[in-house]
Amino acid sequence: MPSVAVKVYSVFFKLLLKHKLQSLLRQSAAGGTGASFGVASRPDESAAPSNPSFGPDGVATKDIHVDPLSSLSLRLFLPDSSLAPRNGHVENGGAYGGYLPPVTPPDARRRSHAGSPRKLPVILQFHGGVFVGGSNTSTANDFFCRRIAKLLDVIVIAVGYRLAPDSRYPAAFEDGFKVLNWLGKQANLAECSKSMESTKAGGVGDASRSQIVDSFGASSVEPWLAAHGDPSRCVLLGVSCGANIADFVARKAVEAGKLVDPVKVVAQVLMYPFFTGSIATHSEIKLANTYFYDKSLCMLAWKLFLPEREFSLDHPAANPLVPGRGPPLKCMPPTLTVVAEHDWMRDRAIAYSEELRKVNVDAPVLEYKDAVHEFATLDMLLKTPQAQACADDIAIWVKKYISIRGHEFSY
């Protein structure tokens, strides 16, 4: 069973969350929400400041706003291993005064050809918060993303999608896919920029070609991604309701096919996904009043997220197994599902994983005993041995699909 501290914290957590959800419902009913720009965070939630220099944990961060028409924002997490040559030794220690250039400094190039910037896989991470709260810059999410960036040796892009009820379905889902397309555009712009640099270095002064590249936004190239990102090894990672978004983005990527090139979604991780449905599962009956996120609170959240005319527990955003939901399951990427013993949503997540395995998709389930919903990402539980073990387990599995030397890791 969960510890006494977890049980006590859960009581206060649910009281505060219920008050928040009911307040948002009243505001929504009174017409006090629904701004087209949307919100990506709540004023009562703590936020960790970004720091473009490597801190004690060896991870640098920066925030960028990628959509002028909405509040969609991103936080990038870059591990210091990105500056190491392929033998793993970091040749240039700092973050270059808070800015990471798109090429390794000349002194490092002279010392070793292998010292050129390393290309790292990219993880798109979607935070939890029952669609109405949470943030990509919250202290808990910042800590979790730093842990993942270091464990997996990857660039993490935490997505600050629009929240309900200011922006109801499908806003958050569209934001997720918009970031995937943005990642592809960044890779293409970086290639154009590299091509222009090569042309200039060769003494070919093609001014018209330079103007064409600039007209497509070469000046908006994100330097960290241009220098160190490998979008052909992209993993989606969703936490709670963020897992619903990740699964939607994976489906859209399958449907888009080569239209999202050079981005390749090689795997996804669904951490205690926020799935539900009209026909109750065993866990939804037995654990309806469980810790932190019980059934009544989740129903309030779905009412805030789904448009009134579309409200249904079998909505494609809520139930992953409704007929006609996106591409055939056999086309889905490898999918790791994390579930907790004391989570009322666990059985539906397991059922989805079982359906994926039936069509030969690599879709293991990691179930953690005595664990609660968000046991590896909730602020008070982040530093527990179980949370660390979960992150380690995720790293072992994901490395099968992001290793440039093939499937050298097995789970």
Among residues 315, 343, 347, 353, the one annotated as catalytic is 343
Q: Does residue 305 contact residue 25 with C-beta atoms inside 8 Å?
A: no
28 CA to centre of own chain = 27
Residue 247's alpha-carbon distances to 174, 400, 404, in angstroms, are 12, 19, 24
Does the annotation mark 392 as catalytic? no
What order do you get walking across the sheet with 265-271 strand by strand?
A: 59-65, 73-79, 155-160, 120-126, 229-239, 265-271, 335-342, 365-372
Distance in angstroms (rounded) separating the CA atoms of residues 232 and 263:
5
Among residues 28, 71, 240, 283, the one annotated as catalytic is 240
Does the annotation mark 240 as catalytic? yes
Distance in angstroms (rounded) separating the CA atoms of residues 279 and 268:
26
Q: Parallel, antiparallel, or unpaired: how do β-strands 73-79 and 59-65 relate?
A: antiparallel
Does the annotation mark 343 as catalytic? yes
Q: Which residue has the tokens 């629904």?
A: 34
Distance in angstroms (rounded) separating the CA atoms of residues 50 and 78:
11
Backbone angles phi, psi at 304, to 5 degrees: -80, -30
282 burial level (CB within 10 Å; 0-12, 13-18, 19+): exposed
Among residues 228, 315, 342, 373, the one annotated as catalytic is 373
Catalogue the active-site residues.
240, 343, 373
